[in-house]
Amino acid sequence: MTAAAATRDFPRFYGKVGSLHRERLWALRLSYASLILAAIIFLAPPVYMLITSIKTNAEMANQSLNPWLVRNPTLEHYMAILGNPVFLTFFKNSIIVTLVVVAITMVISVLAAFALSRMRFWGSQVLATGVFLTYLVPDTLLFIPLYQIVGGLGLLNSIWGLVLVYPTLTVPFCTWIMIGYFASIPKELDEAALIDGATWPQMLLKIFIPVALPGIIAATIFAFTVSWAAFVYPTAFITRPEEMPLTIGIVSQLVRGDTFAWGQIMAGALLAALPPVVVYVFLMDYYIAGLTAGATKG
Amino acid sequence: MAPDGTARVLEAGTVPRATGRSVRVSSLRRLARRRSTIAFVMTLPLILVIAGLVAWPAAWAIYLSTLNRRMTANIGLDNYLILLESESFRMIIWQSCFFAITAVLLKALIGFWLAHMLHHIPTRGQRKWRGMLLIPWVIPPALSTLGWWWMFDPSYSSINWLINVFGFPSIPWLGTPWWARIAVIMVNVWYGAPFFMIMYLAALKSVPEQLYEAAAIDGATSWQKLRFITLPMMRNIISITVLFSLIVTFANYDIVRVLTNGGPRDTTHLFATYAFQVGILSGNLPRGAAVSLFMLPILAVAAFFILRGVTRRVKEVG
């Protein structure tokens, strides 16, 4: 660079410094403005659901009032929905299915991830790739053949049919992120254990599971939220209300022609959304770690 | 899955060259055999799930799609041809592509923008904002879409109420084809944008700060920093996220099912909802399977590129 160019550049550079502070301030204001706008839009639907769920039917029907405000808050819709045995059955079904599926998923994926990340054997690399590919196969591609298979086993209209097929949603991703977590554990640790004469099961239980606990929590949260929110399979396989989990139960049973069931529908939907939201609120860091692990770990 | 020290030792042991140490070799070999047996037993449940509940049904779907309605005769590709000949199915192909591409682009742009904005504010506040903005992703979409449905209600729409406050006429959200399409895309973007935001925020955090410092010293504008540092550094994660979301959005079912159920006049059907209608509700399983298999080409292409991106990433990370 010539001297002339340098002297021409310097004043401009210094001239900028004065405005740098102001520029940053404006960038910060823009950031907060965007975030506030996004927060309003992102939170409006759940907030409106809450508003609807604590409104009286009369107030809801009055079109001259601002729908975003509540004048006489009431819990009648929550009372009604919690006193509805059908809704409680949905809740019970969701809890049973989710707990069993989470347990099955974690056993399958922790065992497989341990084997795939530490014991290289014939085809282990192919299998790891296969796990990732199955994660990419959507449930909407599989529900028709699975409908036949589940029907062939006589499990249509049964929560055990759901327990059978939900692992297709959870196992591939959980295995994939567990492989990532296990692979990040230093090799020196298992070498030390081997020298001390640990067996493979001991190594898994005493070293890998405790060390990779954050990963296990993240995977458990993922399996929980996915099986709780699953919608395609129950919609396809279950038509009897007694066997429905919450998602399809609320969508198909509470939504009837009646216009003013809205309060109850929203109360039911919010109660049904509560477990994953509570898990998220208390375990946010693990939740986000699991979310980003799929692409950033490997 | 980098090679570990013990595995290498044991693998060397399975190829017995040193016959003089046959006792040690055979015990090592036994150990290796036991190890691979253990490994196989440990992965067996996974293999069963993948083979029995994913690979086998996928293959079965392809076979099923070549049968006639009552599944008594093989009719080759007739199901596909009948579908392609029908005007309404061609519109579903168009609508699925339009829906997926528009929604993914919007999600990616909004997510990228919000991730940037989040990255700019002081670190202490980021956690709170991030936690708040991820809420749409956390609520099961079938349930949050119920809330949207109520907000789009023809006579009690709270969105229309707001629009009226600003002096604009009410919008028939789910009543006319184009507004219904826009509504479905809106809900999908609302649900999916936070996911992009989180992914991009994680990626932004992994870009070394020194690069920006060096660029600032060189007098780079913020646009140049974005164009020549952020985007190249994030290229891989952007493509993985976009392709992954493309698959999920193409295969979307719950939002359309709850919001419009395909209406008005089948204009908002996607492959998944139409496959459900044809296969399960009308009882023509083979043709339903054919409808859902139309997702396969886009799926295969996206999966190929994702896998390439992920392996490349693993190699970069180490």
Domain spans of chain A, in order of start: 3-42, 76-296
Q: How is residue A142 written in tokens?
A: 């599989």
Contact predicate A70/A54, CB 8 Å: yes
Which residue in chain B has the smallest CA separation from A180? Answer: B1
pLDDT digits (tens, 9 = 90+) for B183-228: 999 999 999 999 999 989 888 888 888 888 888 888 888 888 888 8
d(Cα B1, Cα A268) in Å, to the nearest integer? 45
CA distance B91 to chain A (A): 19
pLDDT confidence of residue B73: 77
Cβ neighbours for B165, distance < 8 A, ≥ 6 positions apart: none
Contact predicate A225/A247, CB 8 Å: no
- What residue type is A159 in one-letter code? I
Q: Is the pLDDT of residue A276 over 80?
A: yes
Q: Is B31 in CB contact (< 8 Å) with chain A?
A: no
Q: Is the pLDDT of residue A294 over 70?
A: no
CA distance B95 to chain A (A): 17
Please report residues of B whose CB lies closer than 8 A to that of A219: none
**Inter-chain Cβ pairs, chain A and chain B, closer than 8 A:** 318
Of B7, B42, B295, the CB nearest to A114: B42
Phi-psi map region of A157: left, alpha, beta (phi>0 left; psi -120 to 50 alpha): left
Tokens 């910060």 belong to residue: A28
d(Cα B111, Cα B185) in Å, to the nearest integer? 15
Which residue in chain A has the smallest CA separation from B304? Answer: A133
CA dihedral A55, A57, A58, A60 (to 10 degrees): 60
ipTM over 0.95: no
Q: What is the 3-state secondary structure (H, E, C) of chain B?
A: CCCCHHHHHHHHHHCCCCHHHHHHHHHHHHHHHHHHHHHHHHHHHHHHHHHHHHHHHHHHHHHHCCECCCCCCECCCHHHHHHHHCHHHHHHHHHHHHHHHHHHHHHHHHHHHHHHHHHHCCHHHHHHHHHHHCHHHHCCHHHHHHHHHHHCCCCCCHHHHHHHHCCCCCCCCCCCHHHHHHHHHHHHHHHHHHHHHHHHHHHHHCCCHHHHHHHHHCCCCHHHHHHHHHHHHHHHHHHHHHHHHHHHHHCCCHHHHHHCCCCCCCCCCCHHHHHHHHHHHCCCHHHHHHHHHCCHHHHHHHHHHHHHHHHHHHHHHC
Please give the share of chain B, as a percent, with pLDDT higher than 70: 87
Determine, for residues A45 and B190 on separate chains, whether the beta-carbon distance falls below 8 Å. yes
d(Cα A288, Cα A51) in Å, to the nearest integer? 28
pLDDT confidence of residue A19: 62
- What residue type is B39 in one-letter code? A
Please report residues of A whose CB lies closer than 8 A to that of B134: 280, 284, 288
Q: Where is average pLDDT lowest: A229-233, B92-96, B304-308, B309-313?
A: B309-313
d(Cα B7, Cα A112) in Å, to the nearest integer? 17
Q: Is B219 in CB contact (< 8 Å) with chain A?
A: yes
Q: Is B140 in CB contact (< 8 Å) with chain A?
A: yes
The answer to whether the peptide bond before residue A186 is cis (omega within 30 degrees of 0) is: no
- The arithmetic mean of pLDDT across residues B285-297, rounded, is 88
Determine, for residues B280 and A108 on separate chains, whether the beta-carbon distance falls below 8 Å. no
Determine, for residues A13 and B219 on separate chains, whether the beta-carbon distance falls below 8 Å. yes
Q: Is B92 in CB contact (< 8 Å) with chain A?
A: no
Q: Is the pLDDT of residue B41 over 50?
A: yes
Tell me which of A21, A40, A136 to substitute to probe the interface with B (most B C-beta atoms closer than 10 Å): A136
Contact predicate B256/B184, CB 8 Å: yes
Determine, for residues A133 and B60 on separate chains, whether the beta-carbon distance falls below 8 Å. no
From B281, B246, B283, select the one nearest B266 (Cα to Cα).
Answer: B281
Tell me which of B70, B138, B252, B317 to substitute to probe the interface with A (most A C-beta atoms closer than 10 Å): B138
pLDDT digits (tens, 9 = 90+) for B142-178: 999 999 988 988 888 888 888 888 888 888 888 888 8
Q: Is B199 in CB contact (< 8 Å) with chain A?
A: yes
Determine, for residues B140 and A250 on separate chains, whether the beta-carbon distance falls below 8 Å. no
Confidence label for A166 from pLDDT (cuts 50, 70 and 90):
very high
pLDDT confidence of residue B33: 59
Please report residues of B whose CB lies closer than 8 A to that of A116: 1, 43
- What residue type is A157 in one-letter code? N
Q: Is B155 in CB contact (< 8 Å) with chain A?
A: yes
- The arithmetic mean of pLDDT across residues B283-293, rounded, is 88
Q: What mean pLDDT value characterizes chain B?
A: 82
- Structural domains of chain B ordered from first start: 5-64 (no CATH), 82-317 (1.10.3720.10)
Contact predicate B180/B94, CB 8 Å: no
- Distances from the Cα of A262 to the Cα of A75, A255, B151, B160, B257, angstroms: 14, 8, 11, 17, 18
Could you tell me the fold of the domain covering A76-296? MetI-like fold (1.10.3720)
From A275, A288, A272, A162, select the one nearest A217 (Cα to Cα).
Answer: A288
Q: What mean pLDDT value characterizes chain A?
A: 84
Q: Which residues of A269-280 are buried (b: 16+ CB within 10 A; e: fewer)?
A: bbbbbebbbebb
Please give the share of chain A, as a percent, with pLDDT higher than 90: 26
Tell me which of A119, A164, A177 to substitute to probe the interface with B (most B C-beta atoms closer than 10 Å): A119
Q: Other C-beta atoms within 10 Å of B284: how many?
A: 19
pLDDT digits (tens, 9 = 90+) for A5-55: 444 444 444 445 556 677 778 888 888 998 999 999 999 999 999 998 888
Which residue in chain A has the smallest CA separation from B202? Answer: A292
d(Cα A166, Cα A227) in Å, to the nearest integer? 7
Q: Is the pLDDT of residue B27 over 80?
A: no
- What residue type is B132 in one-letter code? M
Report the interhelical angle of A284-296 vs A262-282 (nearest 10°).
80
d(Cα A42, Cα B135) in Å, to the nearest integer? 7
Determine, for residues A250 and B285 on separate chains, whether the beta-carbon distance falls below 8 Å. no
From B15, B29, B3, B44, select the one nearest A190 (Cα to Cα).
Answer: B3
Report the interhelical angle of B177-205 vs B231-250 (nearest 10°).
140
Which residue in chain A has the smallest CA separation from B291? Answer: A141
Q: Other C-beta atoms within 10 Å of B315: how many?
A: 9
pLDDT confidence of residue A77: 86
